Structures are given as C-alpha cells and as structure tokens.
Amino acid sequence: MKRMINIALLSVSVLLFTACFQTTPGSKKPDDPNLVRAGEQLNLLIQSIDNKLNTEDEPEKGGDLSMFPRSLNMGGQLKLVPSKDWCSGFFAGCLWEMYGSTGDKHWRESAIRFTEPLEDQKLNGKTHDMGFKMMNTFGKGYELTGDKNYRDILVQSAKTLITRYNEKIGCIRSWDHNQDKWQFPVIIDNMMNLELLFWASKETGDSVYYNIAVTHALTTMKNHFRSDNSCYHVVDYDAATGAVVKKNTHQGFSDESAWSRGQAWALYGYTMVYRETKNPVFLTQAEKVAQYILAQPNMPVDLVPYWDFDAPEIPNEPRDVSAAAIATSALYELSLFVSDSLRTGYLKAADQMFKNLSTSYLSAPGANNGFILGHSTGSKPHNSEIDVPIIYADYYYLEALLRKMKSDRM
C-alpha cells in the first residue's frame, strides 16, 4: 500500500530546506559554521524522509510506521526504521539540539513531529534501549519545553526499563534474542540507558531508579573490563545464581579484541554516571578508559578509530566515525570533572577529534540524503552498515559541537 503523508507538510519541509536558516521571531541565527552545515544537512534529511514516505510502496509491519532515519543501504538509499528500533530517537535528538541552540520554531516543530510517534515505546519492556530512545526525544523535549506530558512519558519509560533488572545479578538485561547463546546478556552499550533512571530518580524522588542504575554501573565495572582497561562487549550471567558465564565481543573482531565503539560507550557511560553520582570510583573508571583509548597504539593519527582496535588488516580496515563522535562528546564532558593537567589533555584530544570529523568525514553539502557524517561502521562481523552514515554518529557529533562551543566560552 502506497504511503501517503500530508502534502502540506512536504511543501513546508521543501520550503524550509530551501530557506535553510531563515529565522523566526525569538530565534537566533547560528554563527558557528559547523552548526550551520549541520542544520543544512538535517533539513535535507527531513526532505529525504518526506520524499521516501510519499513515494515508496512499503508494507507497514504491525502498524509501526518506518519513519525514523537510521542509515543508507548498500545502494545509497535512505534506510528508515520503526519506533521499536534502538536508533529511532537519535534524529529527533538532533532536531531538539538544533532548537535548543537556535530557538527556531522550525526545529521545535520538526523535533515534535519525530518525537511524539515514539510514545508507544514507554511500555516496550522488550528493550533495554529506553534511554537512547526516550532521553534523546522526550527528555530533550521536556528540558526545552516543560511539556508535562513528556515528563509522564519519561517516568513510565523508566518504570518499564527497570522491569528488566535482575537483583541477583545486579544488572539490567540487554538482549532477548539469541537465547540459545546467552542466558542473561549485558552489553557495555547499556551504560548509556542509565541516564533515564538517574533522571527519573531526581524527578520523582524515588531512589529505586538511582539504586538500580548505580548497581548496574558497579557490576559492569567489575565484570566487563580487562586488566588493560579495555572492555568486553557482552557479559553473560547465570540468571539464577548471578555468576558470570562467559564474555564475548559480539560486534568486534574477536572476544578478546577491543571493539572501538564499545570503548566509546564505556567512556561516555562512566563519565555520565560520575556526573549523576559524584562517586569518585566512576570518575576513576572514566579516566582509565580515556587513557586506554588515547594511548591505544592502533589509534590513527587523526584519532578517528578503526572499527576495532585489534582488527587484523589495520591500516586497511574501515573506520568508525560514530566511535569518534561518541568519544569526542564524552571527552568534552569528562574535562569538566578532572584536574587542570588532565583537562588540558582531554580537551586537546577532543578538539583534534572534532576538527578531523569536521574536515575529513563530513558529508559533502547535499550528499548522503542529509546525514551529517559518513564513514561509520555498525557491525562488520555481520556485514551490516559498513562505511556508511549512521544517525547516532550525527547525534553525538552535534552534541560534541555544542559541548565544544560551551567549553570555548568558559
């Protein structure tokens, strides 16, 4: 069945794309060229989405409309995903970031358009990725608009997320798939979803969310990290006893290799947990991970890592721009919490990463259907999303840009 969308919406999107940064009353025109460039690409991505939704025959699956941009397929066509996909919230997150930095109602309206269809996820107890989906959308929206409905959606999302917590293990379960392979898998990425729980604890006054988040972070710190401070991707637990069963690196080169995006998740996750708890053990862990990444002998000169630090064909391996974008944003935040000597080093590395992302890895104007960055790697072992734009790289790049702008003003 051919998907039809409101033609007026499409016309408005095209007009706004053409006008790009015509500002509205109360808004401010961005003066950073990287922010301008990002806005131009995001407008193009809105147009690309509308074009695809309006012209392409694609059956809807279970009524969950695929409307959220994730990547490009091998032919260069836009890949849209439904709300249940873990990447569904990153595009709205980008749009909210643009609204927060400019005050332009175009970005607000666009962010709302790609946020509110995610409300169904507040009851999705089959995913651990609630933070990725809900904090980037309703969380950003609530922060910027004060919409009480957004608050209620976030609280329910946190309630749903903690149903996946196992007290015996001390962790929130990650995947439900591959039950023949794992009993109770916990992935390092799951650290990112704890921010929702910290928010819920502050907002509601209920310490259960805080306690689960802290326990998950401590358990992960105990079991995910090797002696060199690199981390495994997956730790599988015995659901009955809480004992560690095995340790894997599902999206990396091998179980004992250092998957670069996993290291970036660890850096960002423990920096965030320190921000929320002020417990020095988490700051120490973030510093250890930062040291591992920045001293990594297989790190390229431009600090944009290969998809795995131990991939066998380095230097002829794909890069993962998303890992660099996540790490850059994390380093800007980590620099706020450390001594002056460490701060200088973190900022120098973050600035170098950001500069290289902004020169060598940006999409050409009007290219890549509007994604801001190219050259990310989703999962090379599964031949999935290799050397393509991926929306979470754009989100963390934009977040890094705004953190850099704030840092430069300090």
For 248, phi and psi rounded to 5 degrees?
A: -130, 165
Residue type, 191: M
User: Is the separation of the CB atoms in 234 and 182 below 8 Å?
Assistant: yes
Is 189 designated active site?
yes
Residue spans of alpha helices (H) in 56-193: 90-102, 105-115, 130-134, 140-145, 148-161
**Cα distances (angstroms) measured from residue 240 to each of 160, 213, 224, 236, 244:** 22, 21, 19, 12, 11
* Pairing between β-strand 171-172 and β-strand 234-237 as defined by DSSP bridges: unpaired
Identify the bridge partners of residue 78 per DSSP, sorted by sequence position: 72
Measure the CA–CA gap between 325 and 44, rounded to whole angstroms: 21
Largest CA distance in the chain: 60
CA triple 303-307-308, angle to 5 deg: 95
Catalytic residue among 50, 85, 104, 129: 129
Rounded (5°) CA angle 156-158-164: 115
The span from the first CA to the last CA of the chain, in angstroms, equals 54
The letter for the amino acid at 286 is: A
Which amino acid would we find at residue 279?
N
**DSSP states of 268-303:** HHHHHHHHHH--HHHHHHHHHHHHHHHT-TT--TTS
Q: Which of 44, 46, 68, 47 is nearest to 391 (CA)?
A: 68
Task: Pick the closest to residue 256 from 240, 282, 288, 234 (CA basis).
Answer: 234
Catalytic entry in 50, 85, 189, 394: 189
Q: How far is CA 311 from its chain centroid?
A: 23
Cα distance between residue 56 and residue 162, in whole Å:
38
The reply to whether 206 belongs to the active site is no
Please say whether the beta carbons of 270 and 217 come within 8 A.
yes
Is residue 211 classed exposed, middle or buried when 0-12, 13-18 and 19+ CB atoms within 10 A define those classes? middle
* Residues labelled as active-site residues: 129, 189
